[in-house]
Structure 1
């Protein structure tokens, strides 16, 4: 896979799957746009990306629930590179909440996991049409089944909605030569669980339980997911659109 002269926007690039994806695209000579809230972490990722092929990434600090920040991502990318070839909607938040907790957890999750993806995709679409580019959304197996050992109703709902966005946008933009696909990880070794409110001890216990119960007896690593994202964004997947790719070590079978 070669992404030379391709411009790739990656949201949530400061850690986990986003970082692994950025490094892999950089290793394939892409011009990477790193988007996230933690500017210092983005700078650290940018240094690693530049070491790979000598191409300095563009860093855009953004809060995805703010419309002006979303517009700024596109504006800065076009001002610097003049084009967009790939949009990786990776950023997402996991908030614990049940139906008894009212509407606030739902609104908080949907603003980032669904609304931001919808709007950023809308803003990027004219440029993706010009380049016959593509979109990869990072969803979750939570789109298909509840996370039973955690109250994750808002998160599960948001990922089901994201999968429908993937399919609908793929159907709409197919004739324009723009492909849209989704990668749906299961349990993956990232900072996600702690960011969702678990302590380090609780996270470690959760990981241990997952490794004991998953059919393949292990969790996915960020690099495993990133590798699938790169495949779907590459010309090797030129006949794939509107597809939902599960990468979960068999979790969905349980």
Structure 2
């Protein structure tokens, strides 16, 4: 039941990190892929890797999810090529460091435009096609959406919005048999934090510290998140909707002491 032969899966933020690994996971499971990201070269490499894994050539659409024209073109291109959509993985996201004392409205707008507004927009446009296939949506949230952490204010707020978005849309689409779920990763070894402002030394210290902030004693790997996404998108989770599964080594259950 963990196979996607004949299914069309659209993944945002597919050029790196969790998105790239998720694309390869779905490729191995037989899906037809629609991949989007901002980095042309990186997205091409991911597509080539997926094609080697499945012999199927993914459709790649390069663009910025903040661009409404790109989002519209993304859906139109997917339907034009495959004539349907079965799974939407809202993965694209950014992180910015900042507290209420040193943040800005510019940071707030940047983070929310990518992490919330673009997800809202793409989901709106994908839903009519998902209703036709009785498909499903998997949103990539964060432990920061269910627990509070200082120093990443706009990011935490944006992921909290995704948690509520997941539940609300799940209830709205349940009568049409479209499931909506989320994964909430803890610290995963990707480039997210470095793009968010940590230099190499700070990132190394961050990963070392993560051994104490996760109950399992380590940060996670992208494959562990990708497998959870595939599970939620598969028929194995056919009675799960409106849920957010922490993929965080137990971090969400921990308390300072």
TM normalised by structure 2 equals 0.96
- Matches of 1:213 and 1:176, distance apart in 2: 40
Q: Which residue of 2 aligns with 1:88?
A: 89
3-state secondary structure, aligned to 1:182: strand
Paired position in structure 1 for 2:216: 216
Measure how far apart 1:156 and its partner are: 0.1
Aligned-residue RMSD, C-alpha: 0.9
2: CA distance between counterparts of 1:10 and 1:227? Answer: 14
Equivalent position SS for 1:188: coil
1:17–1:222: 8 Å Cα contact kept in structure 2? yes
Tell me the distance in 2 between the aligned counterparts of 1:213 and 1:141. Answer: 12
Give the total of aligned pairs.
252
Q: Post-superposition shift, 1:102?
A: 2.7
Question: Equivalent residue for 2:38?
Answer: 37
Instruction: Find the counterpart in structure 2 of residue 129 from structure 1.
Output: 131
In structure 2, stretches of 5+ residues that fail to align are: none
Q: SS at the partner of 1:14?
A: coil
Q: What is the CA distance between 1:97 and its match in structure 2?
A: 1.8
Give the match's secondary structure for 1:187: coil
Listed as ranges, the gaps of 5+ residues in structure 1 are: none
Task: State the secondary structure of the residue aligned to 1:8.
Answer: strand
Q: How far apart are residue 66 of structure 1 and its match? A: 0.9
TM-score normalised by length of structure 1:
0.97
- Aligned counterparts of 2:173 and 2:18: Cα–Cα separation in 1: 26
**Equivalent-residue separation in structure 1 for 2:215 and 2:84 (angstroms):** 42
User: Displacement of 1:214 after TM fit?
Assistant: 2.0
Q: How does 1:189-228 map to 2 (within 5 A)?
A: 189-228=189-228
Equivalent residues of 1:146, 1:152 under 8 A apart: no
1:59-70 alignment to 2 at 5 Å?
A: 59-70=60-71
- Cα distance, 1:147 vs structure 2: 2.5
Could you tell me which residue of structure 2 aligns to residue 75 of structure 1?
76
Deviations 1:9-63 (A, max 9, x none): 0000011110110000000110011110001101000111000120000101110
Moved segments of 4+, more than 4 Å = none
Shift of 1:200: 1.4
Superposed, 1:1-254 pairs within 5 Å as 1-100=2-101, 101-148=103-150, 151-252=151-252, 253-254=254-255
